[in-house]
Structure 1
């Protein structure tokens, strides 16, 4: 791929890829929603069965108490009024326990649903950000004006401030406006985020060549070549490095980086 002289895609193909990515994200979100709905339905069924079981238990409990009351009345152990009050008390206690238990379960289900909903919303926002970022990259590729490219890269950096690629491509556009110091600052920002970013080293070499600081330019170009060997061929045809290539010690420094 590095040997290609021209890209193998066009904006229509990339638009197709973006649409496919969008559709996959949407289908993933729908699948998660369906899974959550199935979980909720199962929980509701479990709650219904538990409530039915509790109701049957309380009914049998009343039957048992009624039978015991009849026996106690017969043997004279207590009055019907006392038995009735005791039954009501015990029933209220059992029902209160059941209500508290299922309120806790329902609260847990509600919290889980809220968490899943938040996760789905975050995914939706990430899909929208990704689509916006891809759209901005397409605009930047089609834009011929360096000043307009810089504005597009600024929009990208507002969405993703730590995007090293946007920083280095902005540095490239800044160099075209003959602002090498600005370009160098952008590349140093990129290296703070990614210390191994070969494109940032290469753009630093171009920036310091423009400022005629050839020692620094050769240092950063060596760093770039060590990380990406294909730069050895690219630098020979890059007009931003023409002044550096004319330096007597250039090829010796480049050969040292190869070894």
Structure 2
């Protein structure tokens, strides 16, 4: 069961190595010529995976943790820079819209005055009415048109403001998610370093406070609870994990271990069958786990392993 925790840490490290290997490919997207990395070679990647899967202990190193934290910090810095850039663009767009609106309004008023002058001259010549009446009518028409323009641009500005607010909320949500992910990653690394089951359970409780539906934290907590002999507690944790993810192979495996400790061998074999149907990679672990030794002499167990 402890080897599973080491396997999880190894997978996290493989993810970090994959991100490091993809950086040259990403940097080449701007047109620069970059030499191909040997890490992206399928043969090399297969050898790396075989090496990690055959490890006897976790690959923990403070340098790798520091690298992961620096990557998260760089991502956070990039998100902040993107937020600043987006704000600047929206402000520039806002100013340009106002300039166009003012210019359009000014030109419109000027054209109206030209039209008023022409119409007034014509009306004076034909004797339609006085210049004062013409002026009052034209001022009224000009005020109505200017009011329409102002209303239109106010609506556009409100739309831009709403979009800016949504973008800001989205950026804030991403920043909070990055911080939460960074904290969860630190807790998982801390749990991998602990040797006492009680300390690991306390760390898993912190993870579940942040993400109550984390099936992985529930099943690993059940693993440590079994180490303390709290079988029923472990069963409850696994059943809760299965309500969240009905196909969680690790939860079925922990249930099999718990049922074996209770002496319910038929149920234990049933849960082992459910585990192997969902993840055949547990077959070797089943044959090496001391918690399942009482099942090794049973015919049903031998048939399950040989199938």
- Is this a same-fold pair by TM over 0.5? yes
Shift of 1:224: 1.4
CA offset digits 1:129-157 (Å, max 9, x no partner): 11111111111111122112111111101
**Aligned residue-pair number:** 256
Q: Matched residues in 2 for 1:73 and 1:49: separation? A: 36
Shift of 1:23: 1.1
Asked whether the equivalents of residues 269 and 300 of structure 2 are also in contact (C-alpha less than 8 Å), the reply is no
Asked whether the equivalents of residues 29 and 123 of structure 1 are also in contact (C-alpha less than 8 Å), the reply is no
Shift of 1:171: 0.3
Shift of 1:11: 3.9
Shift of 1:85: 0.7
Q: Structure 1 stretch 144-153 or stretch 91-100: which is displaced more?
A: 144-153
Residue 72 (str. 1) matches residue 123 (str. 2): yes
| Residues 189 and 15 of structure 1: CA distance in aligned 2, closer, same or farther (over 3 Å) | farther
In structure 2, the residue corresponding to 1:162 is in which secondary structure?
A: coil
Asked whether the equivalents of residues 124 and 130 of structure 2 are also in contact (C-alpha less than 8 Å), the reply is yes
Asked whether the equivalents of residues 11 and 138 of structure 1 are also in contact (C-alpha less than 8 Å), the reply is no
Shift of 1:70: 2.4
Equivalent position of 2:88 in the other structure: 37
Whose radius of gyration is greater, 1 or 2?
1
Q: Of 254, 257, 261, which aligns to 1:203? A: 254
Residue 233 (str. 1) matches residue 284 (str. 2): yes
Q: Matched residues in 2 for 1:108 and 1:137: separation? A: 43
Equivalent position of 1:220 in the other structure: 271
Shift of 1:244: 2.1
Asked whether the equivalents of residues 36 and 116 of structure 1 are also in contact (C-alpha less than 8 Å), the reply is no
Asked whether the equivalents of residues 190 and 197 of structure 1 are also in contact (C-alpha less than 8 Å), the reply is yes
CA offset digits 1:79-111 (Å, max 9, x no partner): 011011101100110111011001101100110
Q: Of 103, 116, 122, which aligns to 2:154? A: 103
CA offset digits 1:139-198 (Å, max 9, x no partner): 111112211211111110111111111000000010011011111111111111112211
Asked whether the equivalents of residues 2 and 230 of structure 1 are also in contact (C-alpha less than 8 Å), the reply is no
Asked whether the equivalents of residues 136 and 152 of structure 1 are also in contact (C-alpha less than 8 Å), the reply is yes
Equivalent position of 1:168 in the other structure: 219
Q: Matched residues in 1 for 2:73 and 2:213: separation? A: 23
Task: Say what the alpha-carbon RMSD is for the aligned residues.
Answer: 1.7
CA offset digits 1:207-256 (Å, max 9, x no partner): 1111111111111112212222232222222111122224343212333x
CA offset digits 1:36-94 (Å, max 9, x no partner): 43244134313312320221121111121022112212331110110111011001101
| Residues 8 and 144 of structure 1: CA distance in aligned 2, closer, same or farther (over 3 Å) | closer
| Residues 229 and 11 of structure 1: CA distance in aligned 2, closer, same or farther (over 3 Å) | farther
In structure 1, the residue corresponding to 2:57 is in which secondary structure?
A: coil
5+ residue gaps, structure 1: none
In structure 2, the residue corresponding to 1:4 is in which secondary structure?
A: coil
Asked whether the equivalents of residues 222 and 254 of structure 1 are also in contact (C-alpha less than 8 Å), the reply is no
Asked whether the equivalents of residues 83 and 168 of structure 2 are also in contact (C-alpha less than 8 Å), the reply is no
Counterparts of residues 131-146 of structure 1 (less than 5 Å): 131-146=182-197
Normalized against structure 2, the TM-score is what? 0.78
| Residues 144 and 8 of structure 1: CA distance in aligned 2, closer, same or farther (over 3 Å) | closer
In structure 2, the residue corresponding to 1:234 is in which secondary structure?
A: helix
Residue 27 (str. 1) matches residue 78 (str. 2): yes
Residue 247 (str. 1) matches residue 247 (str. 2): no
Shift of 1:29: 4.2
Normalized against structure 1, the TM-score is what? 0.92
Residue 93 (str. 1) matches residue 155 (str. 2): no
